[in-house]
Amino acid sequence: MHSCLAIQLITALLLFAGSVQAVELKQASLLGSYDWRNNADWFGGFSAVHISESGQSMIAVINRATLVRARIERDRDTISDIQILDQWPILSSKGRVLKGRAGDSEGIAVAPDGSYYVSFEGVHRVAHYAAPGANARVLPRPREFLNMELNGSFEALAIDEEGRLYTLTEKARTIRGDIPVYRWDGTNWSAPFVLPPRGKFLPVAADFGPDGRFYVLERGVAFIGFRSRLRRRVISDDVPKAEETLFETDTGTHDNLEGLSVWRDQEGQLRATMVSDDNFLSLQRTEVVEYLLPD
């Protein structure tokens, strides 16, 4: 009897160890953190990022209606330098420089033709731009967009392989308390699915990776700093499945991470690049963080 129990216990421990190992294999690993500095008055407040050219090119959004293009230099797996190449104001549909609430630009999604979309959370909307410096074409605003919290709507914006846009709210919730996800198919907005909240984290960025999965960066705020969490799901027939948590940091591990881009490096490995919003405060910093992701 005792030997039987011992065998059962050993078997259970082995199974548990195997399950723990399986979970660990799904965890992302930190590649590095780059402290991005610049003395320009407009520098700071980064809220979105898009990485291309196998990690060498960056387009970033500042939450004061500014678009930045930069070149990334690397030393093997880590960022060694970021060189700003251009910066442009994000304009209104009439070609005016956006200011105040109207200029609270938060998310970016780059279309296959090189044009891009920007989401805003001061005046809740999404706009299309044919090129940097072009006038906005504001997408229709359904009734659900009109009465959201002032600082709690569309920080996240992503585009899938079919060219459909997805945005989700930072704070606005459904009657049941879920996170609504809105989709623009080129003609209409719909709400194909919701995401369940997990703890006190709020969604601040999203991206569809080259693996087709839907990645969401979330933020938790504490008195002494920020926490970050990255999760991903498979979206199948408008149903989110196979939820995975790739990392969850302790308070203060990173600054206020708000932008996310998932891409493949030259070795074919999945990476997540994130940028922090320093809120234009000297106590914070603009941090560019990269994690290696499991396939």
List of domains in the chain: 30-293 (2.120.10.30)
* 189 contacts 166 by C-beta, under 8 angstroms: no
Closest by alpha carbon to 70, among 27, 112, 37, 100? 37
CB atoms under 10 Å from CB of 178, counted, come to 13
* 153 contacts 135 by C-beta, under 8 angstroms: no
Note the pLDDT tens digit of each residue in 30-43: 999 999 999 999 99
From 53-67, 141-155, 228-242, the region with the lowest mean pLDDT: 141-155
Note the pLDDT tens digit of each residue in 226-242: 999 999 999 999 999 99
Name, in order, each residue with C-beta under 8 angstroms of 209's C-beta and a sequence gap of 6 or more. 215, 232, 262, 263, 270, 293
Check residues 12 and 156 and name the one with the higher pLDDT.
Answer: 156
Distance of alpha carbon 238 from alpha carbon 185, whole angstroms? 13
Helix count and strand count (H, E) for the chain: 1, 20
| Mean pLDDT for all residues in the chain | 91
CB atoms under 10 Å from CB of 43, counted, come to 18
